[in-house]
Structures are given as structure tokens and as C-alpha cells.
Amino acid sequence: MLQKLFGRPLGRLSPGIAFAIAAPLFYSLTIPLSKTFLRQVEPWLLAGLLDLGAGLGMAIVYLFRRVMSHQSTPNLMNRQDWYWLFGSIFAGSLMASVLQAYGIANSTAAAASLLLNLEGVFTGLIAWFVFREAFNSQTAIGLAIITAGSIILVWTGDSTLRFSWGALAIVGSCICWATSSNLTHKVAARDVIQVAMMKNFVSGSLNVIFAFAIGNPLPSPAIAGAIAIAGFISIGLTYFCFILALRQLGTSKVGAFFSIFPFAGAVLAVITLGEPITPQLLVAAVLMAIGLWFCLRKKGSNSTVG
């Protein structure tokens, strides 16, 4: 199946595609892990500790590389890069992480995982209409179908048109993540470990400070350590692979790849957390799978728009 989607044998996947697949695989762990930790930690503090763990993990990797290497690190960030990075931090880690944590706390992990498909939709739209990347009509159809599946998950099913606040928070986080992804593309050519380290460390520290300011209690050292490790695996490695994929594939393409594996998070939620498989969840999953097929299959030569 993957060979048909990418138009090449699996053994010859480009590094960009390999990193684009690896990033959402790591990120798919975030939802079930967060759902578990939210039983003991407030959402805002959890968002901060996950990012802080990712930043500290990348700092250890950064320092280890400095000790082992006797050469200076190329492509370090300059002053202009910091503007793009701080914009990415504000949109992503300060806004998106908190919205996502509150959304997960007020919806099922399976539904939240599938709703994260909208990040790819918003990432593509921003890349096309704000940063002027070329787009494909086939991809646009796929994103529209994914959106339809997301609406099914967001709607509460009442006779009056009402929506789940938890699901809407997830949608808001997707818009913020999409904005962050496009801003991150501006620094993707810089040292990937430095970018991942600074982005996660700064955002995690700020979120932890804000969480303490509103009265969130600090968890036990064991829980905090477990969250930090989970943050390095699910967020730090995600960001590392994501930046490397951006260098070769562009923002909208990586955003489409990122929509593949929220299904993995949904499956993990059903298996590990015992969440029910509802008709609403199944219909949304089918629609999103069809939309992803449109986005990622090999495109015709005459379908490019813009």
C-alpha cells in the first residue's frame, strides 16, 4: 500500500519521507500517555512538563554531541531565526499544547487522536494561502473529506446544533500547531538539535511557570520524571524528525503525512484505555482514511493548482 502511495519501493524511501513517517508515529503516543497522566496532573502543567522533558532530553543530546565532537556545530540560529522560532513557540507550545491538553481532558483519547488529522488540513491551507506553496486539487478534495470526518467527531449528536467543547479545543490546537509548523519551516535549515532543544525548553519552562501561577500543584518526583521521559519520546523526537522532514518535503506535504498516524493514537486508546468503538468514531475514521488516501496517493501530472 505504501509503495502505491509513494510511487517507489519501500526500501528506497527518501530520508524526507522516512522522517515524515517517523514524526507522527512518535506523536501518536502523546494522546494515550497524556490521558493517563491527566488523572494526576492538571492539563496546563502537563503540557509544560511534556515540553520541558522534551527540551531537557534534547539538551542532553546537544551537550553529548558537543563533548564527543571536536568541531564547531554548523548552521546555528541567527537573530532573524529567533523571531520565527518564538512565533512558533507562541502559536504551538503556549497556545496549542494547552488547548490540546484541555481537549484531551474533556474528550475520549480515540476521538482526540482522530481530530488531530485536522492539523494536516490547517497546515496545508496556511502553507498554500499565506506562504504561497503550490497545491494540488486532489489534495484539496482529500482535506475536505478529512474535515467532514472531523465535524462528525465534534458534533455531540443532539437535535440542536451543539458541539463538544473538548473537541473544539482540539480543533483550536490544530490551528495553532499548523501555524507553528509553517513558522518552524523558516528555521528548518538550522541545526535541528538546537532548534528542537530551544523550542521545547523555552515553551515548557513558560507553561510550567504559568501553571504554577494559576495554582497547579507539582506532582511527585516519580510522576514528574515519567512525564519528562514521555515528553522526550513523544514530543522531542517528533519535533526532531519533523524538522528534518520539512527540509526536504515542504510544509504542506509533511502536514499531510502527519495526518496518517492519529489513527495509531486512536487504536492505542481503544486497546490500552479500553475506550468504546462507537458508530460515530467508525464513520469518522472511514472518512478520514479516504481523505488521507486522496492526499497521499501519487498525483497526476496535470492536477497541480497555483
134 occurs within a structural domain:
yes
Cα-based distances in Å from 34 to 104, 113, 228, 238, 250: 8, 11, 12, 15, 29
Residue 53 has pLDDT above 90, yes or no: yes
Residue 161 is assigned to a structural domain of this protein: yes
Considering 207-211, 248-252, 257-261, the range whose residues carry the highest mean pLDDT is 207-211
pLDDT (0 to 100) of residue 305: 37
pLDDT value at 9 more than 50: no
- Domain-located, residue 305: no
Q: Is the pTM of this model over 0.85?
A: no
CB atoms within 10 A of CB 233: 17
Average confidence (pLDDT) over 190-197: 89
Lowest mean pLDDT among 37-51, 136-150, 169-183, 201-215: 136-150
pLDDT in tens, 197-216: 998 998 899 989 999 998 99
Predicted confidence at residue 57, as pLDDT, reads 93
Residue 92 lies in a domain: yes
Instruction: Supply the mean pLDDT for the chain.
Output: 78
Residue pointed to by grid coordinates 551537550: 63
299 has pLDDT over 60: no
CB distance 283 to 151 below 8 Å:
no
DSSP 8-state secondary structure symbol assigned to residue 11: G
Q: Is the dihedral of CA 16, 17, 22, 24 positive or negative?
A: positive
Phi, psi of 41, rounded to the nearest 5 degrees: -130, 140
23 domain residue, yes or no:
no
Q: How many domains does the chain have?
A: 1
Residue type, 88: S
The answer to whether position 4 is within a domain reads no
pLDDT of residue 259: 63
pLDDT above 90: percentage of residues in the chain: 15
What is the extent of the structural domain holding 46?
Answer: 31-67+75-299
Can you tell me the distance from the alpha carbon of 71 to that of 59, in angstroms, rounded to the nearest whole number?
Answer: 18
Residues in Cβ contact with 8 at an 8 Å cutoff, skipping those fewer than 6 apart: none
Quote the cell numbers at residue 301. 501530472
pLDDT digits (tens, 9 = 90+) for 281-296: 788 778 878 877 887 6
C-alpha–C-alpha distance, residues 224 and 247, integer Å? 33
Question: Per the domain annotation, does 53 fall within a domain?
Answer: yes
Specify the higher pLDDT residue, 21 or 155. 21
Measure the CA–CA gap between 169 and 236, rounded to whole angstroms.
Answer: 23
In a domain, 229, yes or no: yes
- What local confidence, expressed as pLDDT, does residue 101 receive? 78
Using alpha carbons, select from 36, 43, 57, 49 the residue that is nearest to residue 236: 57
- Mean of the pLDDT values across residues 237-259? 80
**pLDDT attached to residue 7:** 43
